[in-house]
């Protein structure tokens, strides 16, 4: 790595002779593989844009010129070249580099990303600002993948940019895959463009962009020449590059879905290093969802499954493979996904929409306006609810309880364990009206024996797991498992009751009244924001009652939570087993003094 | 109206000879004008699709064939032809017809609308359901305007539909205007298509749609012929029609923005009938926003204004006319609008985003991910917060307090009167970080003297308006004006305190502690949902304190509120002056018995 060693900033890069760049590309690729093979993270996307990353920083005057990486999975090379090489081994670790571009991390990260399809909008805002402020020489570049550009938000931005009179450059990084293979008419169109079977049409020219390409995105000299040319051309421009996700690591090129974020692997062979699975763990929650849906669909032909570009991430793939006619990967199109589900439900189908908690934020109006208002029985399966760990602030699914429980007609559930998730999925299929959201976390359940015979869950009912005398702990979702393991370790376990609330909405009013009557202290535990969350709903109900009860709440405080392991983050917010134990012991001793 | 008289259902229509249809079109137009001129409502859109409406119900077998009207402003003719002629005079009145299509109102309304750009997604869901259920003969038609189809959500649906193998028909009703004139590259492209200056390109063909048009959308025989042809063609189809908004009423054709929803008018001349304005009223809140922003921008060149297709509705037009270079109507593109604002703010500009409360639901993820997470100083000016009256459930801005106050870094304000709104707009321009949302209602302020010299508002502080001895009323926003007028009429005015909370987040903790210490009963009053709303935030804080206080809350209950005048709706939920007076008197007598 003798060339890369010398590059501590894009300025160093720009001082290299162009002839050294191919060697530098090889070293950059090797560096990424070296670190990610050990430290984990997103691999394929960054390998695919090594040449482009070098060419961009070589041709453009970053950070004065603004460069935005859409989604940001592909920005590892960018981070390494922009002064973060030494710290790159801390990627995605607590207090280390973020896995995504971040304004607070570097001036080279012009705009933070994480969710897809935001880059053109942000870039256009910056370009307009530059025009208004008289920075007429500043260049503005966004790199966006073919899966991301097919999202509605990107179309809205193109539609505006096309008539905006700004000199922006959109680089379409077309590798025909997002996390899963790209879908949709636009993908088909781009394929036609590439194979030369498209007619004399060009969609981007229809939107008033100057279109250039398609070009080989791994040809460094060509890239440098083309970018240098485009720098001088006014108006909105789109450069269409063809790249290979995972480029330079054979296994990653061959198995692009797996090597999107492969975990640890052998850097020479590319072979995955299997982590030994703790036998106490059950399957991932996402697999409980995917496998259960497949089982249910075998008996209920009204069931359909929808995912916005997450067949693998949500494990809807199990259902998709078994029932391809009833499965719909709509691409990165959350708004459409929700209303499509509404249309299906309006005609008597039973749609299960698999979507990450933070991505449902993209379909919020559709959930309100098209689903809840019409009281349609759409089932939202919210994966990645709660803290997700190393993906960090953009991906923590902590707002859903607050933003869903305020919507009329919604039912909101959160299972404590895998078998309850399975039974929830089973129970909801027979509803004739009313949307349901089931939220469950990233990662493994602690329930190896999850695959029990199906059982109807009791609608709207909380469960008394343990009866005590003084303190009532009310939990919803998987934090209930943690608290259940903590209670026996307290100084006075027999004084503590524990109730599981699988239903956040409707809340089990009757059980609550009993709980309040029988306890002087209540502790709520949840893995969502405290504001507007489960505990705040409980507070609202206590306020209506005559009895005075002290309420304590554990959950996500009113700040954005960064990246790190879930354990580390829970520790920060006082939701790890140790903190919970201390808190319960404190409450017990407070209680003594009553 | 002798022909229309006989038409009580599409079946009656289909029994007419085709030769009678032009006469029927004239009568239908007249009927719409007759009723809307007196009863008010949306006019121009429905006049523009009279021929299309007749042709659709003539050719297709509604309601077995599914027909969706995007947004629904244009569905009056559809309602009149589908059995609702006799009740059409109750349009938008309480317990009368909804101003929009509604599944609960008629089987002919295949899908409820109100917000734009949902129709293709819903239609595709229905078409897929029909295929899965074996209804292979059922036809599926969506009518969508050129402003609506430019929204990202519609693009997502087209992108999916293009490869979906369903026989859907999308009718592009191209009149080059939404509520305000259409904008964007797509509009430019459609203009080129119409004038024949487009190249041999077709954007919809790029998306794998069979494209047909452009055709004159007022030519009934042509429409009938074309629709009959398209009925037999498989696969996704788009029919491009050119229509004139307001067709058939000269004034409405000439002044399309005004006649979108003109209020009462003379049905012969089209002249607007001016309603006498109550001299006690001040300007509309939207005008306070638009005029104030214009004033501020004259002195602060960093100010930019953004609206997603609502220059008139939000009154951003005043600013746009004065500062066209700094004003951006991005079309119906809420997602883009929010992130565009983030990009501008990232570069030091001061963006004011004018958006209706319910439409911000479309940009929720962008607000979280692009604005709040990066702590950027974007100013969200949320018009139509609270109950909006006759537009009904799709448009009531009642969720914003709940869905915004759970987001870290957000500041959320609501002015009690016009002058406070003005001063809020003034104060927020100097923030260097952190997003702010200012929510204000539809309609007139009660503040004719609003245009006072600018004054900084005290950040995060509540105001004591009146000091009493027993009950504290805590209000936020304009309901404070109502409650202030009610207190003097109670049996014991001196017992009631009144506090105005211009800041919902951050809440004035110190003031709250004083209030709780000094009162035994608290009543919160707000014009948003109770769940997760202002009162629930107060409940959360009371729960933390040692003193027992009885909390009562007035606001929107956990159900969707229908249409009617704001007074009628407030009456339903116990938020009108009479109900509030009764409630306060009850609390006073309860207090006696303590």
Q: What is the pLDDT of residues A439-476, one digit of tens each?
A: 999 999 999 999 999 999 999 999 999 999 999 999 99
> What are B277's two structure tokens?
């304005």
Rounded to whole angstroms, how far apart are CA atoms B149 and B123?
14
Rounded to whole angstroms, how far apart are CA atoms B25 and B51?
6
pTM over 0.90: yes
- Contact between B88 and B76 under an 8 Å Cβ cutoff? The reply is yes
> Would strands B140-145 and B66-69 be described as parallel, antiparallel, or unpaired?
parallel
Band (A547; pLDDT cuts 50, 70, 90) = confident
Which residues lie closer than 8 Å to B307 by C-beta, 6 or more apart?
B314, B316, B327, B328, B329, B330, B337, B353, B354, B355
**pLDDT reading at A572 higher than 70:** yes
Enclosing H/E stretch for A526: strand A521-529
Please give the mean pLDDT across all residues of chain A. Answer: 95
Distance from the Cα of B60 to chain A's closest Cα (Å) equals 19
Rounded to whole angstroms, how far apart are CA atoms B306 and B452?
25
Rounded to whole angstroms, how far apart are CA atoms B249 and B259?
10
Mean pLDDT computed over A495-511? 97
Enclosing H/E stretch for B306: strand B303-307
> What are B381's two structure tokens?
């000016």
Whether chain A has a CB inside 8 Å of the CB on B368: the answer is yes
> Catalytic amino acids of B?
245, 334, 362
**pLDDT reading at B465 higher than 60:** yes
**C-alpha Rg value of chain B to the nearest Å:** 26
- Give all strands of the β-sheet with A411-413 in edge-to-edge order: A327-329, A303-307, A350-356, A379-383, A436-439, A411-413, A503-505
Task: Measure CB to CB from residue A202 to each of B201, B334, B529 and give the nearest one.
Answer: B201
Distance from the Cα of A193 to chain B's closest Cα (Å) equals 10
Residue B487 is predicted with a pLDDT of: 98
Put simply, the answer to whether B339 touches A112 (Cβ < 8 Å) is no
Band (B575; pLDDT cuts 50, 70, 90) = very high
Rounded to whole angstroms, how far apart are CA atoms B147 and A202?
22
Mean pLDDT computed over B194-206? 71
* Given A79, A187, A245, A419, the catalytic residue: A245
Which residue, among B313, B326, B403, B314, has the nearest Cα to B362 in the 3D structure?
B403
Which residue(s) pair with A141 in the sheet?
A67, A169
pLDDT digits (tens, 9 = 90+) for A364-407: 999 999 999 999 999 999 999 999 999 999 999 999 999 999 99
Q: Could you say which residues from 468 to 527 on chain A have a Cβ atom under 8 Å away from some Cβ of chain B?
A: none
Put simply, the answer to whether A124 touches B343 (Cβ < 8 Å) is yes
Task: Measure CB to CB from residue A121 to each of B130, B339, B548 and give the nearest one.
Answer: B339
- Hey, how many other C-beta atoms are within 10 angstroms of the C-beta on B277? 11
Rounded to whole angstroms, how far apart are CA atoms A550 and B544?
7
Task: Measure CB to CB from residue B532 to each of A361, A370, A532 and give the nearest one.
Answer: A532
Distance from the Cα of A66 to chain B's closest Cα (Å) equals 10
Task: Measure CB to CB from residue B548 to each of A199, A548, A560 and give the nearest one.
Answer: A548
Residue B199 is predicted with a pLDDT of: 57
- Contact between A417 and A446 under an 8 Å Cβ cutoff? The reply is yes
Rounded to whole angstroms, how far apart are CA atoms B318 and A367?
34
**Could you tell me how many CB contacts below 8 A there are between chain A and chain B?**
395
* Given A92, A138, A326, A362, the catalytic residue: A362
Mean pLDDT computed over B473-484? 98
pLDDT digits (tens, 9 = 90+) for A219-231: 999 999 999 999 9
Residues of chain B neighbouring A364 (CB-CB closer than 8 A): 361-362, 364-365, 403
Distance from the Cα of A278 to chain B's closest Cα (Å) equals 35
Alpha helices, DSSP H, located in B134-219: 146-149, 152-161, 185-195, 203-206
Angle of the B479-486 helix axis to the B577-592 helix axis, nearest 10: 60
**pLDDT reading at A194 higher than 70:** no
Pick the residue with more confidence: B163 or B416? B416
Angle of the B509-518 helix axis to the B534-544 helix axis, nearest 10: 70
Whether chain A has a CB inside 8 Å of the CB on B374: the answer is yes
- Hey, how many other C-beta atoms are within 10 angstroms of the C-beta on B224? 18
> What are A431's two structure tokens?
């509803």
pLDDT digits (tens, 9 = 90+) for A246-305: 999 999 999 999 999 999 999 999 999 987 888 889 999 999 999 999 999 999 999 999
Residues of chain B neighbouring A115 (CB-CB closer than 8 A): 365, 369
Whether chain B has a CB inside 8 Å of the CB on A406: the answer is yes
Whether chain B has a CB inside 8 Å of the CB on A141: the answer is no
Residue A593 is predicted with a pLDDT of: 55
Which residue, among B348, B341, B339, has the nearest Cα to B305 in the 3D structure?
B341
Rounded to whole angstroms, how far apart are CA atoms A564 and B383?
39
**pLDDT reading at A500 higher than 90:** yes
- Hey, how many other C-beta atoms are within 10 angstroms of the C-beta on A17? 6
Residues of chain B neighbouring A188 (CB-CB closer than 8 A): 162-163, 208
Which residues lie closer than 8 Å to B458 by C-beta, 6 or more apart?
none
Please give the mean pLDDT across all residues of chain B. Answer: 95
Is there a cis peptide before residue B506, judged by omega within 30 degrees of 0?
Answer: yes
Whether chain B has a CB inside 8 Å of the CB on A197: the answer is no
Q: Kindly state the percentage of chain B with pLDDT values over 90.
A: 88
Three-state DSSP at B197 gives: coil
> Would strands B463-466 and B496-500 be described as parallel, antiparallel, or unpaired?
antiparallel
**pLDDT reading at A313 higher than 60:** yes
Which residues lie closer than 8 Å to B402 by C-beta, 6 or more apart?
A402, A403, A406, A532, B528, B529, B531, B532, B533
Rounded to whole angstroms, how far apart are CA atoms B3 and B138?
29
Distance from the Cα of B281 to chain A's closest Cα (Å) equals 33
Band (A201; pLDDT cuts 50, 70, 90) = low
- Give all strands of the β-sheet with A210-216 in edge-to-edge order: A66-69, A140-145, A168-174, A237-242, A210-216
Phi then psi for B355, rounded to 5 degrees? -150, 145
Residues of chain A neighbouring B551 (CB-CB closer than 8 A): 543-544
How far is CA A125 from its chain centroid? 24
Rounded to whole angstroms, how far apart are CA atoms A114 and B78?
44
Three-state DSSP at B464 gives: strand
Distance from the Cα of A166 to chain B's closest Cα (Å) equals 12
Residue B165 is predicted with a pLDDT of: 87
Rounded to whole angstroms, how far apart are CA atoms A50 and A44?
11
Put simply, the answer to whether A326 touches B362 (Cβ < 8 Å) is no
Residue B201 is predicted with a pLDDT of: 57
- Contact between B333 and A156 under an 8 Å Cβ cutoff? The reply is yes
Residue A198 is predicted with a pLDDT of: 61
Rounded to whole angstroms, how far apart are CA atoms A457 and A474?
19
Residues of chain A neighbouring B198 (CB-CB closer than 8 A): 206
Put simply, the answer to whether A153 touches B154 (Cβ < 8 Å) is no
DSSP string computed for A39-104: H----HHHHHTHHHHHHHHHHS-TTTSEEEESSSTT-HHHHIIIIITTTGGGTTSTTS--SS--TT
Rounded to whole angstroms, how far apart are CA atoms A266 and A241?
30
Three-state DSSP at A265 gives: strand
B interface test, pick of A324, A340, A594 with most B CB neighbours within 10 Å: A340
- Contact between B236 and B161 under an 8 Å Cβ cutoff? The reply is yes
Which residue, among A51, A561, A362, A493, has the nearest Cα to B156 in the 3D structure?
A362
- In A158-231, which ranges are E strands? 168-174, 210-216
DSSP state of B397: B
Residue B180 is predicted with a pLDDT of: 84
Put simply, the answer to whether A362 touches B358 (Cβ < 8 Å) is no
Put simply, the answer to whether A111 touches B346 (Cβ < 8 Å) is yes
Whether chain B has a CB inside 8 Å of the CB on A204: the answer is no
**pLDDT reading at B207 higher than 90:** no
Which residues lie closer than 8 Å to A400 by C-beta, 6 or more apart?
A357, A360, A382, A385, A412, A437, A439, A528
- Hey, how many other C-beta atoms are within 10 angstroms of the C-beta on B527? 29
Across A183-216, b (16+ Cβ under 10 Å) vs e yields bbbbbbbbeebeeeebeebbbbbbbbbebbbbbe
> What are B586's two structure tokens?
């009850």
pLDDT digits (tens, 9 = 90+) for B305-354: 999 999 999 999 999 999 999 999 999 999 999 999 999 999 999 999 99
Burial of A456 (0-12, 13-18, 19+ CB in 10 A): exposed
Whether chain B has a CB inside 8 Å of the CB on A339: the answer is yes
Task: Measure CB to CB from residue B347 to each of A129, A374, A406 and give the nearest one.
Answer: A129
Place of tokens 């006619």: A325
To the query of whether residue A264 is one of the catalytic residues in this protein, the response is no
* Given A27, A40, A51, A334, the catalytic residue: A334
Residue A276 is predicted with a pLDDT of: 81
Rounded to whole angstroms, how far apart are CA atoms B283 and A585?
59
pLDDT digits (tens, 9 = 90+) for B238-251: 999 999 999 999 99
- Contact between B353 and B307 under an 8 Å Cβ cutoff? The reply is yes
- Contact between B359 and B337 under an 8 Å Cβ cutoff? The reply is no
**C-alpha Rg value of chain A to the nearest Å:** 26
Residue B276 is predicted with a pLDDT of: 81
Rounded to whole angstroms, how far apart are CA atoms A292 and B102?
35
pLDDT digits (tens, 9 = 90+) for B356-413: 999 999 999 999 999 999 999 999 999 999 999 999 999 999 999 999 999 999 999 9
Rounded to whole angstroms, how far apart are CA atoms A483 and A460?
22
A interface test, pick of B340, B345, B410 with most A CB neighbours within 10 Å: B340
Residues of chain A neighbouring B399 (CB-CB closer than 8 A): 368, 406-407
């Amino acid at each position: 790595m003798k060339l890369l060693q010398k590059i501590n900033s894009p300025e160093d890069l720009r001082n290299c002779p162009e002839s050294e760049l191919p060697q530098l590309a090889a070293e950059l690729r090797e560096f990424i593989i070296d670190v990610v093979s050990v430290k984990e993270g997103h691999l394929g996307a960054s390998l695919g844009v090594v040449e482009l990353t070098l060419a961009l920083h070589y041709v453009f005057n970053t950070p004065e010129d603004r460069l935005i990486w859409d989604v940001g999975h592909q920005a590892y090379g960018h981070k390494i070249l922009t002064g973060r090489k030494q710290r790159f081994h801390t990627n995605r670790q607590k207090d280390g580099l973020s896995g995504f571009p971040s304004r607070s991390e570097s001036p080279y990260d012009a705009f933070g990303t994480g969710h897809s399809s935001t880059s053109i909008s942000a870039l256009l805002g910056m370009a307009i600002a530059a025009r208004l402020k008289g920075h007429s020489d500043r260049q503005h570049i966004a790199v966006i993948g073919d899966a991301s550009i097919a999202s509605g938000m990107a179309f809205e931005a193109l539609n505006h940019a096309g008539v905006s009179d700004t000199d922006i450059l959109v680089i379409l990084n077309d590798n025909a895959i997002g996390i899963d293979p790209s879908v949709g008419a636009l993908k088909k169109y781009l394929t036609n463009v590439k194979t030369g079977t498209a007619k004399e049409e060009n969609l981007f020219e229809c939107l008033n962009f100057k279109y250039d390409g398609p070009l080989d995105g791994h040809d460094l000299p060509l890239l440098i020449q083309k970018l240098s040319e485009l720098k001088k051309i006014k108006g909105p421009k789109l450069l269409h590059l063809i790249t290979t996700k995972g480029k330079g690591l054979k296994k990653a090129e061959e198995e692009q879905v797996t090597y999107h974020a492969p975990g640890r692997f052998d850097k020479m062979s590319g072979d995955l290093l299997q982590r030994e699975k703790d036998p106490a763990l059950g399957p991932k929650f996402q697999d409980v969802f995917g496998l259960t849906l497949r089982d249910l669909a075998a008996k209920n032909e009204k069931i359909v499954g929808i995912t916005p570009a997450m067949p693998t991430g949500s494990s809807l793939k199990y259902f998709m493979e078994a029932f391809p006619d009833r499965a719909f990967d709509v691409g990165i199109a959350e708004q459409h996904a929700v209303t499509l589900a509404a249309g299906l439900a309006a005609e008597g189908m039973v749609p299960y929409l698999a979507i990450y908690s933070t991505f449902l934020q993209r379909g919020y109006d559709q959930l309100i306006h098209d689903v809840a208002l019409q009281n349609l029985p759409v089932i939202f399966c919210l994966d990645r609810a709660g803290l997700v760990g190393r993906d960090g602030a953009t991906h923590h699914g902590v707002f859903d309880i607050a933003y869903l429980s305020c919507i009329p007609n919604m039912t909101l559930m959160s299972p404590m364990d895998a078998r309850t998730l399975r039974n929830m999925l089973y129970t909801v299929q027979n509803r004739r009206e009313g949307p349901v959201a089931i939220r469950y976390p990233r990662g493994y359940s602690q329930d190896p024996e999850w695959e029990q015979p199906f059982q109807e869950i009791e609608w709207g009912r909380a469960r008394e797991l343990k009866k005590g005398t003084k303190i009532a702990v009310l939990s919803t979702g998987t934090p209930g498992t943690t608290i259940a393991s903590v209670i026996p370790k307290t100084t006075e376990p027999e004084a503590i009751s524990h109730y599981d609330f699988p239903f956040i909405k409707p809340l089990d009013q009757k059980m609550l009244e009993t709980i309040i009557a029988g306890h002087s202290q209540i502790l709520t535990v949840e893995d969502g924001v405290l504001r507007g969350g489960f505990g705040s709903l409980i507070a609202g109900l206590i306020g209506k009652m005559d009895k005075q009860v002290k309420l304590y709440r554990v959950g996500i405080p009113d700040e954005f939570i960064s990246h790190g392991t879930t354990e580390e983050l829970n520790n920060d917010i006082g939701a790890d087993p140790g903190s919970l134990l201390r808190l319960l012991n404190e409450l017990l001793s407070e209680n003594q003094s009553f």
